[in-house]
Amino acid sequence: MAFKALLLLLVGTVAGFLNVLAGGGSFLTLSMLIFMGLPPTVANGTNRVAIFMQNIMAVKKFHEFKVFPIRFSLMVTVPAVIGSLAGAYAATAIPDATFKKALAFIMIAITLVTMLNPIEKLSSREISWGKGRWAIVILMFLAIGFYGGFVQAGVGFLILSAMVVAGFDLIHGNAVKVFVILIFTIFALVIFTIQGKANYLWGAVLGVGNVTGAYLATVTAIKKGNRFVQKVVFVAIMIMAIKLLLN
């Protein structure tokens, strides 16, 4: 048990760092929780405990550094929460074997998308969609919320892409990202808890690691700037691609 706890702490720290600066850290934690014996759907719910703890720390630090656009965050959180409730319900309603297959497919899909590096491509061009841009952003966050409620892993990349479309740099985009994920995770976790799909003991241990990683990530992001965050996003994409090839 002590070895498992230490392993969760280490994996959680790495995942927390990746989640806050880029995304994809939950692929590590989900894989580890399943490897340690939790049913896939329970691992999915347990991971939300750690995500909740991680994003409390991240939101606090981004707010302290005064890079937190609260008004925009609240506006896009509403559709994200609505989507997450539907996604979480879907995740708890399917059998473990089906979810495991879905997770494998999602890992492939997210890896392929992130290898195209849409964040960098979007940020390198002037985006001007007029009044229609807001409607598109709201619809994007509704869909992102469903995805986040269903599986969580990789949702950071999707939110960062939406934030670039909305006209934000990666520093402010990350601040909005951790807030949106924090709020919709609360609602999703309620669904998982009601359905008996969350192990709070393992989730709390994992969460300590995630919090540590989140603290290091927010401090690093502010000190190193937008260029450094872009590099971390690229490295995270490469790690996901290599992991997929090895599997």
The packing angle between helices 40-64 and 96-115, to 10°, is: 40
Please state the domain extents for the chain: 2-246
Residue 182 in tokens = 């924090």
For residues 75 and 97, what is the distance between their CA atoms, to the nearest angstrom?
36
Q: What is the band of 33 on the pLDDT scale with cuts at 50, 70, 90?
A: very high
For residues 233 and 242, what is the distance between their CA atoms, to the nearest angstrom?
14
Q: Read off the pLDDT of residues 142-197 as tens digits, 9 standing for 90 and up.
A: 999 999 999 988 898 889 888 887 888 888 888 999 999 999 999 999 999 999 99
pTM of structure:
0.83
Q: How many residues does the chain have?
A: 247
Residue 123 in tokens = 């940020």
For residues 89 and 218, the model is more confident at 89
